[in-house]
Amino acid sequence: MRFCDDGCNLRRGGVRSTISCHPPSPRLAYMLTPPEFCFDGYWTALKCCDAADSFWMQQCWKGEQKSGNCCHSWALQARDHLQEKLRQVKSSQGPCANAFDLPEFTNMGMLKAAMTWEVTDADLRARESFKLGHRHLQDRCSHEALREDEESATVRLWDLLGHRRTGRLLNIGAGSYSDPLWAIALQRNVTGLFLDPVGPPKKLPSPEGIRFVSEFVRPSNIPSLLRRGGFRGRPGSPLPIDFMKVDVDSCDCVLASIALRFVRPSVIIMEINWSLPPPLRFVRQCHEDWSRKWSSWSSVGFLLSTHGCSLSGALAEFSRFGYSLFRVAGSVNAFFVHRDVADLLGGAEVDEVFCFNQVWQDSSIIRYVHWKLSHDWRTGSVDDALGHVWGNFTCYDWVFNISHIPFALAV
Question: For the whole model, what pTM was predicted?
Answer: 0.80
pLDDT of 210-257, one tens digit each? 999 999 999 999 999 999 999 999 999 999 999 999 999 999 999 999
pLDDT of 290-314, one tens digit each? 999 998 887 776 788 899 999 999 9
The pLDDT score that the predictor gives to residue 17 is: 32
242 neighbors 158 (Cβ within 8 angstroms): yes
Provide the pairing of β-strand 168-172 with 239-246. Answer: parallel
pLDDT of 169-190, one tens digit each? 999 999 887 899 999 999 999 9
Mean pLDDT of 394-400: 86
Residue 133 has a CB neighbour count (10 Å cut-off) of: 20
170 neighbors 259 (Cβ within 8 angstroms): yes
Residue 382 has a CB neighbour count (10 Å cut-off) of: 18
Q: Give the whole-angstrom CA distance, residue 113 versus residue 386.
A: 14
Report angle CA 195, 201, 202 to the nearest 5 degrees. Answer: 135
The pLDDT score that the predictor gives to residue 103 is: 46
> Does residue 39 have a pLDDT over 50?
no
Q: Where are the alpha helices (DSSP H) in 132-277?
A: 138-141, 143-147, 150-160, 180-187, 222-228, 252-259
Respond yes or no on whether the N-terminal peptide bond of residue 180 is cis (omega within 30° of 0): no
284 neighbors 251 (Cβ within 8 angstroms): yes
For 26, 128, 198, 348, 368, the CA distances from 342, given in Å and listed in that order, are 66, 23, 34, 6, 32
User: From the DSSP assignment, how many helices (H) and strands (E) are in the chain?
Assistant: 14, 15
> Does residue 337 have a pLDDT over 70?
yes
Q: Give the whole-angstrom CA distance, residue 33 versus residue 37.
A: 6
Residue type present at position 197: P
Domain 132-369 class? alpha beta
117 neighbors 373 (Cβ within 8 angstroms): no
Give the least confident one: 109-123, 212-226, 275-289, 320-334: 109-123
Q: Give the whole-angstrom CA distance, residue 279 versus residue 354.
A: 11
271 neighbors 251 (Cβ within 8 angstroms): no
Report angle CA 235, 238, 243 to the nearest 5 degrees. Answer: 135
The pLDDT score that the predictor gives to residue 335 is: 98
DSSP 294-353: HHHHHTTT---SS-SB-HHHHHHHHHTTTEEEEEEETTTEEEEEETTTTGGGT---B-HH
The pLDDT score that the predictor gives to residue 391 is: 82
Give the least confident one: 71-75, 113-117, 325-329: 113-117
Task: Identify the CA nearest to 313 among candidates 178, 203, 394, 407.
Answer: 407
Residues 6+ apart with CB under 8 A from 123: 380, 381, 382
Question: What is the distance, to the nearest Å, from the Cα of residue 229 to the centroid of all Cα atoms in its chain?
Answer: 25
225 neighbors 197 (Cβ within 8 angstroms): no
Please state, rounded to an integer, the average pLDDT across all residues of the chain: 79
Handedness of CA 384, 385, 390, 395 (dihedral sign): positive
> Does residue 262 have a pLDDT over 90?
yes
368 neighbors 218 (Cβ within 8 angstroms): no
pLDDT of 369-378, one tens digit each? 777 778 888 8
200 neighbors 194 (Cβ within 8 angstroms): yes
Q: Give the whole-angstrom CA distance, residue 388 versus residue 277.
A: 13
